[in-house]
Structure 1
Amino acid sequence: MTSSPSGSTAFFALALLTICGLVLLLLRYYLPLRSTPAYVIVPVFLSIALPASIVLLVPIDLASSAGTETDGGRGIWLPEKVVYKSWRTTYWLTFSLTWFILPYLGEYCDSGYREPRAQVLDAIRSNGRYQLIMLGSTILGAIYILLQNGFDRDSLESLVMALAYAWGLVLAIYLMGHGLVALPRTLYRYASISGRLKRLQGQAPKVHDKLTESLDKLDQYEYQVVQLKQRKNGTAREFQEWIEELTEMSNLPENRVDVVGRTATTAVPPVITERYLADLTRKLKRARHAKVRFSDEWDRLIAKALRTQAILDSQASQRLEFKSSAFETQTQGPLSRLTLLTPYTRYLYHVHVIPALSYLASFTATLASLAIIWSECVNPLNPKLSLIGLTVVHHPPSSRGQIGFGGQVVAAAWLCYMCICAFFSLTEVKVWGNRALVKRGTYLESATWYSLQVAKLTVPLAYNFVTFTPPTIYKNTSFHRFLGRLIKLTPLGMGFSNYFPMFILVPVLASTFGLYGWVKRVCGFGDLLEDEEDADDGNGGASANESGLGRWREGRALIEREVQGASGNSLGLSQRSGLVSPPGGRAATSSSAGRYSDQAPVGAAASTSNSRASARASASGGVSRAQRDSETRVERERRIRREEEEGNFFTDFGSRVRNTFETADFSFSRPKWMSGDDEGAEAGAGSRIAGARGSAQDEGSGSASTGWTRLFGGRPEEGRVRL
């Protein structure tokens, strides 16, 4: 090792700066950096940047311990001392963020108390059960390690690191196994344009129901704030200021207070306490962020459906142009204003190029998933059969395996794919409660939780990947001497690290064969783990296909109504131009043969700007509400009024009896032999018909009286028309 590591050091520093810049851009996408407190930004930034640096540090560690003998093919390497200290610093910072800082920080941000001291105490109480579970596991592990190796510093350090590694590996193996199947399948399904539109329409009813439910919850909590405001003068002074702050947070119109009050399920307690106000504040914050979350999800779904429908319709004219709409801004990127493609080249790109790339990416991801699954299963039995190890080690004929720059690139690619599959499952598996990532509107507690999961999963996945290489290589790495040696200090830890990754077959088989649907039918809680696209594949049988067809039709109607309402035609009287045609059918032929233009008309631009202002005010929790929220509330009010007008059994029975007597025919019909002429018969018929009409009783009685006067020689009035 006579070469100087100056070039590698410069590359390593530049790569770290690049990672930090990308992490800042990621945080800016999901969080408003100016309004987010620094005590949240810094831990979240570190919990993402440090695991990302591990993806860079693992290949450098492999090349530093098993580099080639030639300087040109050695790759990026650093001195052994630098690598070891880098591992120690990165691991213990990540460990502190994962198990101590981020859990308390999340509860601190979610707390409803006003004072920082009260928020800290509330965070400690909220994490009490979690910490007790961790303490109990630590005590059991300490007893085992002390009986196995005795009491020393390495035993205590091994206990802490082994427990953290074990829990992280369990979660990482499950999430990665699910993602190894879900990610290639998602890429494959994305290639079908008609199937993509059908899935979007099938998801629309569920998203719309969640949006409506979030609006209902927000109304209930805001109604409690209105009740508190009415009783503000009877509370303590500090509670009055607190209630004023809650009033500023809420935004319930006065004309809806009575409507919400009739459906309210909770009321303000007689005695207002600090704990009640804190609980109401927490619920109000969660409801506001849930509303923002599902509003953003609904807008994005509508925008994707519009773009997909435009792509599907362009197959007839072979010219594609995305028209501006109120929802188009939800899917536009920073380069959306640049017009680089013509309508024809845009058609080729979206109809032919993207599906081909999707199929290619799906095929590549499938091969990578199979290689990872194979390596996980055969690595404990025979490490030489590991496909990942064979691709990383490029010089097997030497006395020991060697890794050059090409092996480092391949190793980084494998580790990135494993992490992507695990993180992809975080958004697919629905067991995380109300947490979600929202563009520029992520709840602070959700941001801390997702960053915690990134920090928790990366270290176990990184060490699991290192073990894919031959033992003569990974046992000489600084990562193994720092972490692996302590994990395998006991036989139980060694067996768990070697053989537990074989359980990756459980989530792989569950995702491949749709076992989540079977769990749903048997146990009733399969919605937590069910793939949203299982019903489309027919895994649930005929009932699943029928329900999927019903959801698709309902979703198509919801999307069409939303688009018509956003375009100013809430009654749907405009001409439908194939906006949401059935997927799989023939695309609507475009009737316009003129030249396409990427410039939106003036009216559409104004509509887009107004929708942007409305969406921005809604996302920031301002005074104004989005138009669809008001339309949803109007529908809800109509339903309530209709239920109130229906009445009970006795009211319905009385109405039916009254209608029976009012519509019955009690008029006297004289026989023909009493009629003097044909005119009299016509008069009698007219009296019968007039008497049968309950809504024209006056005319009926007049006709009947005229008929009775004709019996005594009277004559009908001149010019009188009888019906």
Structure 2
Amino acid sequence: MVWAFVALASCYLAAFVGSLIFLLYHINLWKYPVYYSAPLILAVYLPASVTILLPLDYVSHNAGPISGLHISDKTILLMWKGTYWTTFLLTWVFLPILQEFYRVGNYLKLEKLKASLKRNAKFQAITLLCSVACAIYLILEAGFTFRNLKSMIIALSHIYALVLALWLMAHGMVVIPKNKWLEGNFLQELNHNYLRVPKLVDVLEDTKSDFREDVLQVLILKENFTDPVTSGDFQYRDWILDLEAQIPEDLKDTVRRQYVYSEANTISREQVTNAFMTKLTHNFQTHFYKLLAHSSDYDIVLNRIVKLQKLIDARCAQDWTQRLQNIETSFLPAKMSYYYQCFAAPILARVQSILVFLLSVIIIESEFFHSTELSLINVIAYKLGIFKHNLTQAICLLLFFMYMIFCSVNSLARLKVFNMYHLVRRNSDPVSACFYGSYIARMTVPLSYNFVALFTSRKSIFEEWYGQSIHLAGLFNLMNNWIPRLLLVPVILTTFDLYDKIKNRIGLKSGMYGWADFDDADVESNTNDQNLVHNKRREVVIAEAKRLVAMELNRRESKTAISQRPARSGVYAQSKQPSGQNPGLFSASVDSLLSQNYPLEAGSDASPALWGRVSEAYRTLKSTVNSKLERTTPHENVALHYRDQDDAEDHLIV
């Protein structure tokens, strides 16, 4: 018994560590209070723990107890109930309240909590109204009792989350093998990333423009109403200063330089009310979160483009000196690292693509023939002999179930939900983290029951307890049996890129209907048609993307050079590098991006004529930047307003 407890505790500890690593990869939890971080960690940890509990429960009741991991049925039932109802409270109560708490623009915490509770009360009221029809059906079908009411709540939550989880899982099971296969060809992946650049740049510039307007208002408020001498004890002074402290320094300086006084920019004291400040704070936070997310996405694509370009250069180089200059350092010896990054890694990516494709085929087939002898997962579990080894069977089922959850979560992270929520590396905002955390927790239990339904035998504690609610009424039972078979619909739509074609046919191509698109939808829509016109358009888009990338890399290189110039005091200014960026990575890659002499693969979309036009544009840009750097005075057509001479010297353009 002691060893079983130690083994189980080790498994759950590993799940907790994995959940914590996943969250820290996407958001800096340590800067948030414990009342935010604790529910978020729990929302990700509980689904991870289910991946251990489900195979343990199922294998123990179908193939016998697992050696060293035997747990009583009563303990398993308590674990299932505790996991489900904790997840239910997190996804329907605590995380939505926290999400609105960090979304609203109120300043005081008590006011933020009141506003959050008010918004959630409205949402819950709408949900209850939608449940009235189901309650009427329940009364007619099974009778109205407290137990049936509780079962109805479980069933409704199950059906809603199951539809969402299976749709996302179907998309992931097609896209993940496709993306892995793409990683096996450097040139194709490079063009794939180039096709994303123009859209990312447009979105990023629009976000910057919106955020600059908010920054300008905050700076005007700060200049006019935070000086104790001229403004007195202004009640919104601390609020304004807190907003001003959140503005990035480079953006703050840019807005100050470009600011020109006009009547339209003035804000009177009478305008500054609680409603005005609340709305300003909400807009400021929303645009700031979007700016962080889109900047992070853009940096990731830029880094990947530069890395792929270096790998292509290394493969085409003739001598080892040039090859090793383009290879990232690793724990492997230099030449071995070259062979691994340039040749072994693409082959491994293709092998991984084939393996996950086979997993996808097995799961999709099993979903269509679930609860029958034709289910491939059922065949693997009971016909291949692994059922004779309980631990091996549990590990096999664990891998299948983890892949199902991974596909759903991967697609969820790529889903554009009204362009409000963004899960990005290290820079996710608290509102988006709450949203994605709640849906990760919400989808896990329905996927667990769906996984058990893939087998001919469903014998388990989970089925005995949770299945009673699902089979409460005939309609719920019918939906639970047929929804998995409809998995083929999103699989076909994703495989053949039919989403855009259908939207075009029914007139839903405008931007307002893009909330259900995925991040890769914009790229795929550029490659749908086989016509020559669209192929030429694709070449033009790639050429434009190369120009934009070259401009961005050159801008960062110039910014680094300026920051490293001697300051007026004779001390070198510290280099301000973008977060997560290597300065040498960008500075050494601008020329290689624009002047390539390596042979292209067959079917390549890059052409020498396009490279020539891009190289000419780069040389023009370079001469323009150099001429501007030689100037020591501001532009004459920009009106700069400073409080005094010292302030003007601090913002002198070098």
TM-score w.r.t. length of structure 2: 0.79
Residue-by-residue CA offset, 1:431-480 (whole Å, 9 max, x unaligned): 3523223333321111111111110111111110011111xx31x31111
Is 1:366 matched with 2:366? no
2:198 maps to which residue?
Answer: 205
2:309 maps to which residue?
Answer: 309
Instruction: Give matches, 1:184-333, under 5 Å.
Output: 184-229=177-222, 232=225, 237-250=234-247, 253=252, 256-257=255-256, 259-260=258-259, 268=267, 271-317=271-317, 319=320, 320-321=323-324
Question: CA separation in 2, counterparts of 1:58 and 1:393?
Answer: 17
SS at match of 1:450: helix
1:653 maps to which residue?
Answer: none
- Does the 8 Å contact 2:215/2:255 carry over to 1? no
SS at match of 1:384: coil
2:649 maps to which residue?
Answer: none
2:367 maps to which residue?
Answer: 376
- Does the 8 Å contact 1:178/1:425 carry over to 2? yes
2:546 maps to which residue?
Answer: 556
2:495 maps to which residue?
Answer: 512
Question: CA separation in 2, counterparts of 1:289 and 1:576?
Answer: 29
Quick one: which of 147, 155, 173 aligns to 2:140?
147
Counterpart AA for 2:477: M
- Does the 8 Å contact 1:74/1:405 carry over to 2? yes
Residue-by-residue CA offset, 1:619-658 (whole Å, 9 max, x unaligned): xxxxxxxxx9xx9xxxxx99x98xxxxxxxxxxxxxxxxx
SS at match of 2:197: helix
Question: CA separation in 2, counterparts of 1:135 and 1:538?
Answer: 43
Is 1:498 matched with 2:451? no
Is 1:163 matched with 2:163? no
Q: 1:416 to 1:256 in 2, by over 3 A?
A: closer
Residue-by-residue CA offset, 1:79-99 (whole Å, 9 max, x unaligned): 111111110111110111011
The farther-off stretch of 7-16 and 405-414 is 7-16
The farther-off stretch of 544-553 and 55-64 is 544-553
Instruction: Give matches, 1:95-114, under 5 Å.
Output: 95-114=88-107
1:448 maps to which residue?
Answer: 434
- Does the 8 Å contact 1:197/1:583 carry over to 2? no
Q: 1:444 to 1:574 in 2, by over 3 A?
A: closer
Residue-by-residue CA offset, 1:501-555 (whole Å, 9 max, x unaligned): 1121121111111112213433214654262431464447455433322221111
Residue-by-residue CA offset, 1:95-150 (whole Å, 9 max, x unaligned): 11011110111110122111222111211233344222311232222221122121
1:130 maps to which residue?
Answer: 123
Is 1:545 matched with 2:535? yes
Residue-by-residue CA offset, 1:325-383 (whole Å, 9 max, x unaligned): xxxxxxxxxxx87x42233212211222111111111111111111111111122xx61
Counterpart AA for 2:51: V
- Does the 8 Å contact 2:296/2:427 carry over to 1? no
Question: CA separation in 2, counterparts of 1:197 and 1:435?
Answer: 27
- Does the 8 Å contact 2:215/2:252 carry over to 1? no
1:417, distance to aligned residue in structure 2 (A): 0.8
2:174 maps to which residue?
Answer: 181
1:684 maps to which residue?
Answer: none
SS at match of 2:540: helix
Instruction: Give matches, 1:579-618, under 5 Å.
Output: 579-580=593-594, 585-586=599-600
- Does the 8 Å contact 2:313/2:326 carry over to 1? no
Residue-by-residue CA offset, 1:673-723 (whole Å, 9 max, x unaligned): xxxxxxxxxxxxxxxxxxxxxxxxxxxxxxxxxxxxxxxxxxxxxxxxxxx
Counterpart AA for 1:454: I
- Does the 8 Å contact 1:373/1:505 carry over to 2? yes
1:428, distance to aligned residue in structure 2 (A): 2.8
SS at match of 1:385: coil
Quick one: which of 49, 52, 72 aligns to 1:53?
49
Counterpart AA for 1:138: S
- Does the 8 Å contact 2:377/2:454 carry over to 1? yes
1:262, distance to aligned residue in structure 2 (A): 8.2
1:172, distance to aligned residue in structure 2 (A): 0.5
Q: 1:576 to 1:190 in 2, by over 3 A?
A: closer
Among all aligned residue pairs of Structure 1 and Structure 2, give the percentage whose two residues are the same amino acid: 25
Q: State how many pairs are aligned.
A: 567
1:255, distance to aligned residue in structure 2 (A): 7.1
2:577 maps to which residue?
Answer: none
Q: 1:34 to 1:534 in 2, by over 3 A?
A: closer
Q: 1:65 to 1:249 in 2, by over 3 A?
A: same
1:710 maps to which residue?
Answer: none
Bigger-Rg structure (1/2): 1
2:568 maps to which residue?
Answer: none
Is 1:423 matched with 2:413? no
Is 1:482 matched with 2:465? yes
Question: CA separation in 2, counterparts of 1:225 and 1:348?
Answer: 53
Question: CA separation in 2, counterparts of 1:354 and 1:265?
Answer: 57
Give the aligned CA root-mean-square deviation in angstroms.
Answer: 3.3
- Does the 8 Å contact 1:517/1:534 carry over to 2? no
Q: 1:533 to 1:188 in 2, by over 3 A?
A: farther
